[in-house]
DNA sequence: GGTAGACCTGGACGC
DNA sequence: GCGTCCAGGTCTACC
């Protein structure tokens, strides 16, 4: 099979930096704790979906080895590298992570700093909308169904003679989701009332009214991005702040019921949820433009204290246990 | 500018 | 078993 190599920052650790945010557990992403590889299908051009397995064999800072399901053209190769770099935040240098550790030294030892995200801005927006007002296992199910129902199918030949071919799916493309009927999403993907909002989002991307390049441009003022996100269907204060962090803007906190749980059980705050939210907000304000990472890795450390290293979580078992009721115990 | 009430779905909990 | 509540919120309609 064709392979590609991708250099990484000096401190990059695939197992740690991939398994750093819940989206690594969402379809079509598949982290295999056994082989410590990330695999999924990517849409990189007109040649059809490409399966990719990402491995880091020679330790921290070594190059990634990408094994592809088919040969790719030059333009596809560039796009593929761009998408993998986005997912794993290869754009964040060791120095940039060091700067964060300077502000919050608690994560220096583990090296946590990069946060996993999607290969595209579009997928991040859709995934965030599917995480609202629902428990985590529901988000997992919705993403699985979206891929299987609306995503493009990729069939890989059986590894052994007589074995069954492997069927994989990509994440729904903008154009495909824009053409999907809300009723289909509701019935087959179980997205509930999110149906029309998801289709409308895809249509905004398709028409160019939402331009990913503008949102991703470091030169675009933060306040303008935030304002534009709030205009999107299905995106409120929580989702907007979360998409901001996915864009690498860590100054805002996506406060939700999980923040309240964290405030109570870990930080020891008492009072009404509104009061606790306020205190959580104040607690992380001193971390300034790094606030979200300080907040998130505190939560992540709590999850790992309950279930072990995130890189050992299985998508089908451990990955599904993060419900409010279980976390509160 | 602030706040009830509705909203899909499915897990958790009480009876 | 069945009803109720609510989750990594958002939107609309009111005040």
Of A253, A245, A265, which is closest to residue A306 (Cα–Cα)?
Answer: A265
β-sheet bridge partners, residue A67: A3, A53
Token code pair at residue A144: 């699985």
What is the C-alpha to C-alpha distance for residues A49 and A26, in angstroms, rounded to an integer? 18
Using the CA of A236, give the nucleotide whose C1' is nearest: C10
- In angstroms, the Cα distances linking A284 to A109, A122, A254, A267, A290 are 20, 28, 12, 11, 9
Cα separation, A90 vs A82, whole angstroms: 9
Distance from residue A11's CA to nucleotide C6's C1', rounded to whole Å: 41
From first to last of its 329 residues, what are the pLDDT tens digits of chain A? 999 999 999 999 999 999 999 999 999 999 999 999 999 999 998 889 999 999 999 999 999 999 999 999 999 999 999 999 999 999 999 999 999 999 999 999 999 999 999 999 999 999 999 999 999 999 999 999 999 999 999 999 988 888 999 999 999 999 999 999 999 999 999 999 999 999 999 999 999 999 999 999 999 999 999 999 999 999 999 999 999 999 999 999 999 999 999 999 999 999 989 999 999 999 999 999 999 999 999 999 999 999 999 999 999 998 888 877 777 76
Q: How far is CA A9 from the centre of its chain?
A: 20
- Say which residue the tokens 């700067």 belong to: A99
Question: Of the candidates A249, A222, A226, which has an alpha carbon nearest to the alpha carbon of residue A237?
Answer: A226
Return the nearest residue to B9, CA–C1'. Answer: A192
d(CA A251, CA A293): 9
- The residue length of chain A stands at 329
Structure pTM?
Answer: 0.97
In this complex, the answer to whether residue A240 has its CB under 7 A from any atom of chain C, a nucleic strand, is yes
- Please report, rounded to whole angstroms, the spatial distance between the CA atom of protein residue A193 and the C1' atom of nucleotide C7: 15
pLDDT score for A319: 87
Answer for A135: CB within 7 Å of strand C.
Answer: yes
Does the C-beta of A28 come within 7 A of strand C?
no
Contact between the CB of A136 and strand C at under 7 Å: yes
Q: Can you give the distance from the CA of residue A133 to the C1' of nucleotide C5 in angstroms? A: 13
pLDDT of the residue at A329: 67
For A165, phi then psi, to 5°, come to -60, 150
Q: In angstroms, how far is C7 C1' from A296 CA? A: 19
Ranges of beta strands (E only) in chain A are 3-6, 30-32, 37-42, 50-55, 64-68, 153-156, 166-169
Per the rule left: phi > 0, alpha: psi between -120 and 50, beta: everything else, A308 is left
* Distance CA A325 to C1' C1 in A: 22
């Amino acid at each position: 099979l064709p392979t590609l190599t991708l250099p990484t920052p000096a401190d990059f650790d695939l197992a740690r930096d991939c398994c750093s945010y819940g989206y690594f557990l969402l379809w079509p992403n598949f982290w295999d704790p056994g082989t410590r590889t990330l695999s999924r299908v990517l849409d990189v051009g007109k040649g059809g979906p490409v399966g990719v397995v990402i491995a880091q064999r020679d330790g921290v800072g070594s190059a990634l080895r990408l094994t592809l399901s088919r040969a790719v053209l030059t333009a596809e190769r560039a796009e593929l590298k761009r998408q993998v770099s986005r997912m794993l935040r290869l754009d964040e240098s060791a120095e940039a992570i060091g700067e964060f550790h300077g502000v919050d030294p608690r994560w220096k030892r583990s090296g946590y700093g990069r946060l996993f995200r999607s290969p595209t801005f579009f997928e991040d927006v859709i995934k965030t909308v599917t995480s609202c007002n629902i428990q985590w296992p529901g988000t997992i199910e919705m993403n699985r169904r979206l891929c299987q129902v609306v995503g493009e199918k990729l069939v890989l030949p059986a590894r052994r003679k007589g074995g069954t071919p492997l069927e994989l799916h990509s994440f729904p493309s903008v154009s495909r989701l824009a053409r999907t009927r809300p009723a289909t999403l509701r019935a087959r993907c179980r997205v509930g009332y999110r149906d029309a909002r998801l289709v409308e989002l895809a249509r905004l991307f398709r028409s160019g009214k939402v331009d990913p390049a503008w949102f991703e441009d470091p030169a675009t003022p933060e306040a303008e991005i935030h304002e534009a996100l709030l205009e999107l269907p299905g995106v409120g204060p929580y989702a907007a702040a979360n998409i901001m962090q996915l864009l690498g803007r860590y100054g805002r906190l996506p406060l939700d019921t999980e923040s309240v749980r964290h405030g109570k059980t870990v930080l020891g705050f008492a009072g009404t949820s509104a009061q606790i939210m306020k205190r959580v907000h104040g607690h992380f304000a001193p971390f300034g433009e790094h606030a979200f990472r300080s907040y998130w890795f505190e939560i992540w450390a709590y999850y790992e204290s309950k279930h072990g290293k995130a890189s050992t979580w299985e998508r089908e078992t451990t990955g599904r246990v993060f419900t409010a009721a279980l976390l509160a115990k």
